[in-house]
């Protein structure tokens, strides 16, 4: 099997970037309607998709909101945290490498 040098690996990583899941965690304080609003505004989910994800978060403790390249995943987390903080909610979102 041919060896992959650093230059070749950079090309492979550029073509197939690592993907990250944005995960929303349940809490006892953030209103369900706010979660749905976040999913629609920040994650561009339809009303039905947002409600389905909200219920998964509520029932299972957490759910994936979307899968993105790292920079976009980090931006979604930042935007969500800022919106939650501005509205006085402790909503927690994290990222996790897919795979």
Half-sphere exposure of 21 (CA within 13 A, CB side): 11
Q: Does domain 18-97 have CATH number 3.90.105.10?
A: no
Q: What is the pLDDT of residues 28-85, one digit of tens each?
A: 999 999 999 999 999 999 999 999 999 999 999 999 999 999 999 999 999 999 999 9
Q: Exposed, middle or buried, 61 (CB in 10 Å: 0-12/13-18/19+)? A: exposed
Return the domain boundaries, the chain. Answer: 18-97
* pLDDT score recorded for residue 1: 53
């Amino acid at each position: 099997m041919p060896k992959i040098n650093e230059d070749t690996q950079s090309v492979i990583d550029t073509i197939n970037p690592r993907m990250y899941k944005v995960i929303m965690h349940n809490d006892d304080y953030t209103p369900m309607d706010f979660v749905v609003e976040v999913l629609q505004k920040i994650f561009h989910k339809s009303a039905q998709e947002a409600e389905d994800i909200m219920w998964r978060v509520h029932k299972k403790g957490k759910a994936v909101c979307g899968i993105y390249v790292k920079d976009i995943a980090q931006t979604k987390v930042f935007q969500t945290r800022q919106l939650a903080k501005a509205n006085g909610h402790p909503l927690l979102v994290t990222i996790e490498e897919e795979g």
